[in-house]
Amino acid sequence: MDSGIGRMRGPIGETSRCTGVLFCEDQLLPEHLVLQRRHAYEVDDLNHTPFAPSQRLEPTEVADMLDGLLEENKKERRRVMGKPTREERLQHVRDVHRRVLHSLRTNSSAQSNREVALDAGCHPQTVKRITQWMANSSLPLSEYVYNNTHSDATLDTLDRSISDPASAMLSVVDLKRRVPECSKRFIARRMRRVHGLRYLKMRRERKDPKKDKYNKTNIDTKLLRTVLWTSVQAFARNNETLLFLDECEFALYQTPDYSWMKADEERPVYNRRTAEETALHVVALCSQERMVAFQVFEKHPNRIDIYYFLSTFFRRWLSGQRRRPRPTVVLLDNAGWHVANVVMKSSFRKLLLYSVPYGYELNLIELTFSKAKAEWRKRPVVESVEREVEFLAELFRTRIGERGFEGYRRQYLRQLREVLGRHLLV
């Protein structure tokens, strides 16, 4: 490796069974998802400048910057969504009417409102209003007799999806995504009348007593100030200066709150998908704009695992910035495996910023984990850990997309503003 990227020295240990470090922008290959032990090597000569924000700002100035970022985010959202002018709205209405009338006149056979809407690219209610106007205007219109039936192929696909044991955790909305020809009402009615299923809440059996909430009264205000000042000024730069890292556990026994079941059968127990209380663990890293990289572990990550992930990430990340390097800092909590000697004495230690204890509001990646957990609970039933790993990889690469980060970014800025007002503006 070049000296500016980092040279690998001797081995420092072996990781637990894990996948490779997966970058979301790369094409995913089957060999990347193999769970195996990997050798971690010492990396030195990471000649990269960390992001060093100004610490001379007053809390009121940082609060004004946060308010400005929130307001700018609102304007950006309006700009992305786009508010059409009156002439643009009228032209859109004319185009919709033209497409609906063209669809009604070119198709000789009678069509339902839904079929015309799919053909014209509008809502069925719009088609209904236009057809009512045509009927009142004495214009020629093919007579349509409502027939709430579906083809045998559609019903067969729907029944197979309902009967599939892997679909027990899916909701009506999830089933409609599989069979878009059927409405949600039709799917729910068929599940009740034909299959005898009800969408009922699972029984809950608490594994552990509720733990006492942690104490957040004694907070290091100096460290909190450093984290807040860094986060706000990095967001003001509007690039991938600040990165967020953390781990998340995905237990194989987790289930959603509700499941389809027959009314007379015993309800399954919440969080009892499998008898074994095993779990997969994901170390992930994101920016304010997207998910960047992640790695799946069979057990809870240890110090060697974290070192392997960070060293592999930085070598790849910095190699892509040879021509236009930018200051970078990674925000993470002070868990024991994050502050181990092998990490603290590494060449990339200067690029790490440790947050305050229990400061989950200061780490944006916690918001993405909430989305990932919800999708994980509804995952299909599979019979191998390898398939579970494939689902996790697909989840972090595609389902947590850039569009979702718009909402994560807004919520994160609100959380920063709340923490600032609660601890530093009093």
**9-18, 27-36, 254-263, 293-302 — most confident range:** 293-302
Report yes or no: 168 and 381 within 8 Å, Cβ to Cβ: yes
- Report how far residue 289's alpha carbon sits from residue 280's, in angstroms, rounded to the nearest whole number: 26
| pLDDT tens digits for range 92-121 | 888 888 888 888 777 756 677 888 888 888
User: Which stretches within 47-85 are classed as H helix?
Assistant: 59-81
Report yes or no: 143 and 110 within 8 Å, Cβ to Cβ: yes
What CA–CA distances, in Å, run from 287 to 28, 297, 365?
20, 21, 8
DSSP 236-273: HHTSTTEEEEEEEEEETT---SEEEEETTSPPPBTT-S
Rg (the chain; Cα; Å): 27
* DSSP strand pairing (197-201 vs 258-262): antiparallel
- Report how far residue 240's alpha carbon sits from residue 289's, in angstroms, rounded to the nearest whole number: 7
| Strand partners of residue 363 | none
Cα–chain-centroid distance for residue 295? 15
pLDDT for position 2:
40
Whole-structure pTM value: 0.71
> What mean pLDDT is reported for the chain?
82
| Strand partners of residue 385 | none
- Which tokens hold the place of 136? 């009142």
Nearest to 239 by CA among 136, 130, 327, 145: 327
pLDDT for position 169:
77
